[in-house]
Copies of this chain bind each other. A is one copy, B any other.
């Protein structure tokens, strides 16, 4: 089941890639249904808040009509950063499923565990590594293409 939903998050990531953004996608599931989707749009919008998870959380709260996303699961292709981990805490999402680890910026497992912090007033359970290779290779390939394009421009 996690893999099926992660494929939908990957579809979102592909939407980001199609507009030249780092391919990261997220969906939010409530009662077995996808109620919100988001993809990274930071460069397009030039707004630092437009990470995939933040977009999805905003849409989900609108759909549910509450800032408390209590019965929701967030699926995201990359381990959440500090801002998105914080938004998960603030919106009381109880379960987070992610694809690839982010050793440089992930704050769920890699650098720290903000979703298990006992001093916060909310904690979330985390399932990592779902379709990890697929999520990870999307990112690796994106950055490889970017480097090649830059090299081509420098050579010309």
Residues of A at the B interface (CB closer than 8 Å) are 42-43, 45-49, 51, 54, 57-58, 61-62, 65-69, 81-87, 89-92, 104-105, 107, 111, 114, 117, 119-121
Contacts and interface: CB of A to CB of B under 8 A. Distances in A.
Contacts of A51: 90
Nearest to A58: B49
Nearest to A51: B90
A141 to B, nearest CB: 22
Nearest to A103: B119
A51 B54 CA distance: 13
B81 A90 contact: yes
Contacts of A119: 111
A89 B114 CA distance: 15
B82 A114 contact: yes
26 contacts: A43-B67, A46-B61, A46-B65, A46-B67, A47-B62, A48-B57, A48-B67, A48-B69, A48-B87, A48-B91, A48-B92, A49-B54, A49-B57, A49-B91, A81-B86, A82-B85, A82-B89, A83-B86, A83-B87, A83-B89, A83-B90, A85-B86, A86-B86, A86-B87, A105-B121, A111-B120
